[in-house]
Amino acid sequence: MTENMSRSKTQVIVASKAVAALVAFALLCCIFSVMQIGSLAPETFQYPTWTSWKVESFRQLPDRADLVFLGSSLVHTPMGEADADLTRTSLDATIHHKSLVFEKRFQELTGAGIRTFSFALPGEMPSDAYLITKFLLKGERRPDVIVYGVGPRDFLENTLPDPSSTDPFRYLSRFGDYSEHLSLIKPGFISRFDYELGRLFYPYGKKEDLQIAALRWTENLISSVMPSDIETFNVHQRKQVLPEYHPYEVRRDEAFYHPDQSAKTAFKDNLAEYRYRYKNLKWDTFKSQSRFFEDMLKVASGRGIHVVVVAMPITDLNRDLLKPEAKQAYLENLATVTRKQGASFIDLDASPDFELADFADSVHLRSKGGKKFFDLIAEKLSSDRAVLAALDTKPKDTQRALAEREDSRL
C-alpha cells in the first residue's frame, strides 16, 4: 500500500509539473504576442525573389502608378524583352517594373502621359493577384486602372497543391489578414492544422520571422570572421550545385532583359510541360481560383479602380492540349465574371493578330510579339471610355479622336 501511495504521489507531481509547464508556456506565448517579440516588418524577406523586388519597388515609387499590370510570366517576360528592344539596352529585371512600349503608344494615341507599374510575376495565380490588389493597391498607392492578363494555366494548374504553395503567396500573405478566404487558401487538413497551430502558439506562428532573424545573425557572424576577399557564388552558379535551395531567388545584376532576343532565340517546345499541367482537371482548383478572380475584381471596383481583363494570346499548339470542357469553362467564366463585375474584357486567346513567329514557346510571347501585344492593348484602352474616365487624363481633343475612330468603324 505504501508503494501504491508513493507511485500516486509521483504521478501527481509529474502531472502538476506538466500542467505548470503548459501554463508557463501559454503565459510566455501571451507575453510574446502582446510585445510582438520576434515580429518583423512584412517587407522583411528571407531572400530576394521576383515578388520581393516588385513589392520593394512599388512601395518606393516616388509617384503612384496610374495603371498596374497583373499576370504571370505571360505578361512579365514579353514586357521586359519588348522594352529592351525599344531602349536598345539590357534592363535589370529586378529593377525594371513598367511597360515603356505601352506608355509610349498610349501617349501617341491620346496625347496623355501615363505611369505604369508591373506586378506581373512568374507563376502568379488569381489568388496572388487578389492579395496584391487587396493588400497593396490601396490608399495613396491605388492605381486608376488594372490590366490583368490571364491564361488557362492560371485556373487549370494541375500541379498546384493549394494557393498557399506559390512563391508570391509566401510574401504577399505577410501584408494582411487572409482568414476570410482560409477555406480556399488552405483547404487540406495538414495546411489548415499548421495555420491554426500558428494562431494558437505565437512563436510557431512567427517561425518564419524568427528564422529570418536567426539567418541574418548567422550571416553577419560569418561575414565578421571570414576573410573579405573570399569569392562567393552568384545565384546562377549556386543553383548548378544546389538547384532546390532557394529556388525562386534572384539578385541584382544577375537577371537581364536583352535586346534583339527575338532574332537570337529559337522556338522552345514546352508542350510536354503543359501536357502535364493540364493532364488532370482539378475542378477544385478552377473553382477556388475563379472565386479569387471574382473577389479581386470586387475589391478593385470597391476602390474605384477600373479593371481590364485580357485573355492572353497562346498558340494553337498549347490550346489544343486543353480538354474541350476545360477550355469552355475557362473562357466562359472569364467573360461572365468580368462583365458581371463591370470590368472591360479583351479576348486575345485565339487572336489572328498573333502568329507562331511571335512566340518564344507555346505560351510566352517573344520580344517582337510583346511589342505587338502592348501596342494592341494601348490602342484598345485608348478607345475605352471607362478606362479614360478612370484615368481622367483625356486632353481636349481626345473625345473628337474617339468619335472619329468610332465613325471610321461604321
Q: What is the CA radius of gyration of the chain?
A: 25
Task: Determine, yes or no, domain membership for 36.
Answer: no
Residue 397: per-residue pLDDT:
45
Task: Note down the domain range covering 109.
Answer: 50-194+239-409
What is the mean predicted confidence (pLDDT) over 100-110?
97
Grid cell digits, residue 372:
505587338
On whether the CB atoms of residues 126 and 285 are closer than 8 A, the answer is: no
* Residue 215 belongs to some domain of the structure: no
Does some domain include residue 288? Answer: yes
Ramachandran angles phi, psi of 400, nearest 5°? -65, -40
Cα-Cα-Cα-Cα dihedral sign, residues 297, 301, 304, 310 = positive
Residue 37 inside a domain? The answer is no
Please compute the mean of the pLDDT values over residues 78-85 and round it to a whole number: 96
Q: Which residues pair with 365 in a beta bridge?
A: 359
pLDDT bin (cut points 50, 70, 90) of residue 17 is: low
The per-residue pLDDT for 298 is: 97
Which class for 130: exposed (0-12), middle (13-18), buried (19 or more C-beta within 10 A)? buried
pLDDT mean over 117-124: 96
| Amino acid identity at 278 | Y
Helix (H) or strand (E) holding 104: helix 100-110
CATH number for the domain harbouring residue 94:
3.40.50.1110
Q: Which residue has the cell 512584412?
A: 42
- Please check whether residue 173 lies inside any domain of the structure: yes
| 253 in a structural domain | yes
Cα 307 from Cα 289, distance rounded (Å): 17
Environment class of 218 (CB within 10 Å of its CB; exposed 0-12, middle 13-18, buried 19+):
exposed
- The chain-wide mean pLDDT, for the chain, equals 85
Q: Check whether 389 has a pLDDT greater than 90.
A: yes
Contacts of 259 (CB under 8 A, 6+ apart): 84, 85, 87, 88, 89, 90, 367
Contact 391, 145 (CB under 8 A): yes
The grid coordinates of residue 1 equal 500500500
| Residue pair 348/313 in contact by the 8 Å Cβ criterion | yes
pLDDT at 339: 93
Work out how many domains the chain is built from and give that number. Answer: 1
| pLDDT higher at 248 or 61 | 61
**pLDDT given for residue 404 in this prediction:** 42
Contact 289, 125 (CB under 8 A): yes
The answer to whether residues 271 and 356 touch, using CB atoms and an 8 Å cutoff, is: no
Hey, what long-range contacts does 385-389 have (CB within 8 A, 24 or more apart)?
Answer: 386/306, 386/344, 387/145, 387/306, 387/308, 387/344, 388/110, 389/306
Does the residue 251 lie in any domain? Answer: yes
Statement: residue 407 has pLDDT above 50: no
**Residue 26: inside a domain:** no
DSSP state of 324: H
- H helix or E strand, kind and range, residue 331: helix 324-340
Q: How many residues does the chain have?
A: 410
